Structure 1
Amino acid sequence: MASAPVSPSERAPFPSKPSRVNTKIEVTDSKVSANRALDLLECFLSFFSTSLVNFIRPPLHPSVDPNHVLAGNYAPVSELPPTDCVVVAGELPKSLNGTYTRNGPNPHHQPKGPHHFFEGDGMLHSIRFSDGQATFCSRYRKTYKYALEDNVGSPIFPNVLTGFYILVDLGRCAVAIGRVIKGQIDPMKGFGLANTSLAFFSNRLFALVESDLPYTIRLTEEGDIETIERCDFAGQAFLNMTAHPKVDVETGEAFAFRCSPVPPYITFFRIKMNGQKQQDVPIVSMKGPTFVHGFSVRKQYIVFSESQLEMKPLKLMICKGMPVSAELDKVPRIGVLPRYALTESEIMWFDAPGFNAMHVINAWEEGEDEIILVAPNVISIENLFHNIEMVHFSLEKVRINLRKGSILRTTISKKNLVLGSINPSYLGKKNRYAYMSIGEIVPKMSGVVKIDLELECEVSRRVYGAGCFGGEPLFVAKDGATEEDDGYIVAYVHDENSGVSRFVMMDAKSQTLDVVAAVKLPRRVPYGFHGLFVRESDVQNMD
């Protein structure tokens, strides 16, 4: 995961003292003595843990060693208020007005002990377009976790993936439990990072992560990004949901699920256009606590993958590594559930040996009996968290026959195509084109290819150049477009040779994905995860 070094001037300084935010930790007079004792205990445990880290503990695995994980363009950056940008190649289309925002991890404080790349505090990097001009901004998601740690001035929550990686790290957990007992931390307010993706539905923009509820975000006319609140969808009692809800552009409904390490392991639900969450549909027939990341929704069905990746929280408590691991003896399955099912009574399961899909590009129905699913299959899934440089992706088309109860898998490409997008108007409908990133070492992508799903082949590509890497390519349709591929592919691209990051816009219809415009950003954008384009009309109508 390592990349070119970042100069000290480019690296975000971890705060030496807390910068106050709106969320406050209230301490009453009756709790002063208890809090002083807790503070002394925290200081002791911190000193004890640091001493063991520095003098006793053996070297950390590179995948959780902060010195490795946060090197180069993985290093965090500080917030940046709205700043004008310079177009250095081509010209931004004046008809394309709106905001492209990408989510990703960006630790606010120096990690204490093991740290996985997936665990950094969420930061949104946004570029707003107006009449051919661009404004860039970077802001942290002001989550409950962020606000508490900002007040304290250091990490106080155990990390989900590495919080109990070794026995000494239980000290921070003990302090966190003490804060819960003293009323300083309310676990019902969540401890998620909001660092994975974005979604727009019910006239609201959400920042999401699997371990928590989403946070609503507001984009200002000046190009700034504001965190509004943690959203429970009209007071519904639930604690987390997928980072990849699917939105039906015709009905305005959002479909989602939540995973759990205890039965039921997955529960589906939908959210009406007015923001009202509907009843849960627990899937009790799932064999184990599978980590489900992506899924697909069609006109009649919901399709998801029960992979070999499972959540094992007990491994944390006995210090046996990460709580997510691959069960290689398990046979993966594909689940098909009626779109508006009220129970799982009509669910259909299909064995799919070796098929581990974390993200779904698209799926659609052909006739009454078949569903087509397109997704990158994760090869060597056992390396996904510890040795990600050894992971390879194979783009597959899966034909699911509901009448025969069978599947037929076809490999479209073995060229390590990792993340991708389609024209969002075709979500859940038959489409022809997908735009996929060329994997280097996730999440570093060396270029983008256009895949013809009908011909099942690559039809065009663009490589960013030596030492240049981007992330997930996002398709943005032109205003008034009538053809599926009439639009742009956009991504942030970082040059590790110069340390400069750019926003790149490519012509999706051209034979070589020609660059329409390149915008030099006022500072680098660390590698991250998923992005979204919100048109100006939607920005103006946000609740």
Structure 2
Amino acid sequence: MEPWPDNAFLQGYYEPLTAECTAPDLIIEGEIPKDLNGTFYRNGPNPQFPPQNEYHFFTGDGMVHAFEFNNGKVSHKNRWARTERFKIERKLGGSYFSGMNPLETDPKLLNFVLTDKEGVANTSIIYHGGRLLLLEEGHLPFEMDPDTLESEGAWNYYGKLNTVMTAHPKVDPVTGELVAFCYMATGPFSEDLGYYKIDKDGHLTEYHTFQTPYSAMVHDFVVTENFVIFPILPIAGSMDRAMVGGPPFAWEPEKGAKIGVMPRNGTPEEMQWIECDPCYVFHFANGYEKDGKIIIDACHFDSPPLFPMADGTPTEANIHPRMNRWEITMDGNTPTAITQNYTAPESVSGEFPVIDPRYAMREYEHTWFTSTDRTKPAKIPDSDYVYNAIVHFNVKTNEVDSYAFEHGYVSEPMFVPVEGGAEGEGYVISCVYDDSTNMSDLCVFDAQNIKAGPIGKAKVSHRVPVCFHGTWKPAETYTPAGV
């Protein structure tokens, strides 16, 4: 195989692994709590071959890392998602699919690309309805065996789901219902979104489509007990632009921004739209209702990284977003006003927020996210979408508790509650890449004392490349306490 090309997203922290490994008993530094039992899954892009065209890390083959915690011990395994694309390239012995623009794909494979149901399965991962599902918002969920990580293929909910799924569905901690959506629901660059629900046992119960103000990349959304909120923010899609080799999605703030609000148990005919300031949000922390308002906490970019202007020129992106509180005033089911105000200190950037999952869709207090401390020696240039710190942010008091690594790049944290504990009592886990050793550690923090640093580390004897998102599957004996 040829060396990886000189591309920032194929070097250092991003450099793909070329092997699948199994390590049954990782070396432990410090102490892993014995009441932390279950499996932590991470999913991210890991191309098996050097790309044939310009590479965008949104398009690498999915690879899952599974860390199993058992009575103070940790094991690790990693496996590629063996999608149809992966198997075709493995058979041909090289890269044959394009990056963001399918028209750059080898012409012999273009028809396959346009009908493929599996994609690269590289963005997120959930465990719901007894299935481990890899999510990548352009295709169906992709199933893996939760124990062996053996690939099972596309999952269409017993033949009832004929479209794609967001990388960020929401699970109601009380009912177990999964609420999901998809953009471009009726074809490439369409203005239609799909909205659907899946019960706790994994059965699709309803599906709707509706038209939005324009074709946009909608990476995340918000669900409360009684409402669903769809942000149409101006990373806009254009078939015409893509057909002539331009960016399929681009930052177009002149299109404006609108927020759609719909009753959770309603229909698209009840959708109401309200304008907001142009911005972009890849990830929301949580949303809930209180005193006639919908309260939303968002990792807010004034303009986004990773996407150019419509003419292909780079955006003047602030790649260090801040926690921003949106308050939507409601008159019954109708939004009448919206405010957007930063809540975290200006010095505290934040992305990849997580919460205590027992408080999803409900009033809450704690969130944890990745951040950047530029006083540390880790090489984090302005152009890199990477972070070296973990922050605990109290959304009620705006207090900050953080820890920064000297040479570490942190991944999205995962909060794991202690059984029967109050909100925020538990552990925070993050996979941390050390740029001084080119290896990774799985770090465990006391969720209420992040500044003390990791209480335990599981030492991985190789690099764990950048992953986007993860999930936690408790050991079978764990029974989560309700809100």
Match of 1:497 among 409, 430, 436: 436
- Equivalent residue, structure 1, for 2:391: 449
Alignment of structure 1 residues 360-439 onto 2, 5 Å: 360-367=284-291, 369-381=292-304, 384=307, 390-403=318-331, 405-413=336-344, 414=346, 415-439=348-372
CA distance in 2, matches of 1:489, 1:262: 38
- 1:122-521 equivalences under 5 Å are 122-159=62-99, 161-164=100-103, 169=104, 172-177=105-110, 180=111, 185=112, 188-220=115-147, 224-260=148-184, 261-284=188-211, 286-320=212-246, 322-341=247-266, 343-367=267-291, 369-381=292-304, 384=307, 390-403=318-331, 405-413=336-344, 414=346, 415-439=348-372, 443-455=385-397, 457-465=398-406, 467-481=407-421, 483-510=422-449, 512-521=451-460
Write out per-residue CA displacement over residues 325-361 of structure 1, whole angstroms, 9 at most, x where no aligned residue.
01120221121111112x3121121211133222110
Matches within 5 A, 1:100-139: 100-139=40-79
Cα distance in 1 for partners of 2:204, 2:306 equals 36
Matching residue's letter, 1:374: D
Cα distance in 1 between the residues matched to 2:274 and 2:228:
14
Q: How far off is 1:442 after superposition?
A: 5.0
- Which residue of the partner structure matches residue 311 of structure 2? none
CA distance in 2, matches of 1:317, 1:435: 41
Counterpart residue type for residue 397 of structure 1: R
Change (3 A) 1:501 1:389: farther
CA–CA distance in structure 1, aligned partners of residues 21 and 371 of structure 2: 31
Query: Take 1:387 and 1:150, find their aligned partners in 2: how far apart are those partners?
Result: 36
User: Larger Rg: 1 or 2?
Assistant: 1
Distance 1:523 1:230, change over 3 A: same
Q: Which of the pair is proportionally richer in helix?
A: 1
Q: Which letter does structure 2 place at the counterpart of 1:314? A: D
TM-score, normalization by structure 2: 0.89
* TM-score when normalising by structure 1: 0.79
Q: Deviations over 1:375-429 (max 9, x none)?
A: 1111222754656975231211111101260012221123321111000000001
Amino acid across the alignment from 1:460: D
1:388–1:442 CA contact under 8 A, matched in 2? no
Secondary structure at the residue paired with 2:153?
Answer: strand
Q: Which residue of 2 aligns with 1:10?
A: none
CA 1:382/1:133 → structure 2, altered by over 3 Å: closer, same or farther? closer
- Equivalent-residue separation in structure 2 for 1:478 and 1:442 (angstroms): 34
Instruction: Give the CA deviation at 1:474.
Output: 1.3
Q: Is the contact made by 1:115 and 1:162 (CA closer than 8 Å) also made in structure 2?
A: no
Aligned to 2:376: none
Alignment coverage as a number of residue pairs = 457
CA RMSD for the aligned pairs? 2.4
Residue of 467, 475, 480 corresponding to 1:536: 475
| Counterpart-to-counterpart distance in 2, 1:75 and 1:375 | 30
The one-letter amino acid paired with 1:336 is V
Local SS of the residue matching 1:444: coil
The 5-angstrom pairing of residues 70-89 of structure 1 reads 70-89=10-29
Structure 2 alignment gaps of length 5 or more: 309-313, 373-379
Evaluate the alpha carbon distance shift between residue 328 and residue 538 of structure 1 in structure 2; reply closer, same or farther with a 3 A threshold.
Answer: farther
> In the alignment, residue 451 of structure 1 is paired with which amino acid?
F
Q: Which runs of 5+ in 1 are unaligned?
A: 1-12, 16-63
What is the alpha-carbon distance in structure 2 between the residues aligned to residue 383 and residue 215 of structure 1? 25
- Specify the alignment match of 1:27 in structure 2: none
**CA separation in 2, counterparts of 1:377 and 1:355?**
7
Aligned equivalents of 1:118 and 1:477: distance in 2? 31
Shift of 1:129: 1.0
In the alignment, the residues of structure 1 paired with residue 32 and residue 224 of structure 2 have an alpha-carbon distance, to the nearest angstrom, of 34
Per the TM alignment, residue 69 of structure 1 is displaced from its structure 2 partner at its CA by: 2.5
Distance 1:102 1:388, change over 3 A: farther
> Compared with structure 1, are the counterparts of its residues 382 and 537 closer, same or farther at alpha carbon in structure 2 (3 Å cutoff)?
closer
Q: What's the % identity of the aligned pairs?
A: 26
Q: Give CA deviations for 1:163-208 in whole Å, capped at 9, x if unaligned.
A: 44xxxx4xx442214xx4xxxx485442511100111211211111
- Code of the residue aligned with 2:241 in structure 1: it is K
What's the CA shift for 1:78? 2.4
Structure-2 residue corresponding to 1:94: 34
SS of alignment partner, residue 147 of structure 1? helix
Q: Is the 8 A contact 1:301 1:336 kept in 2?
A: yes
1:218–1:263 CA distance, 2 compared to 1 (3 A):
same
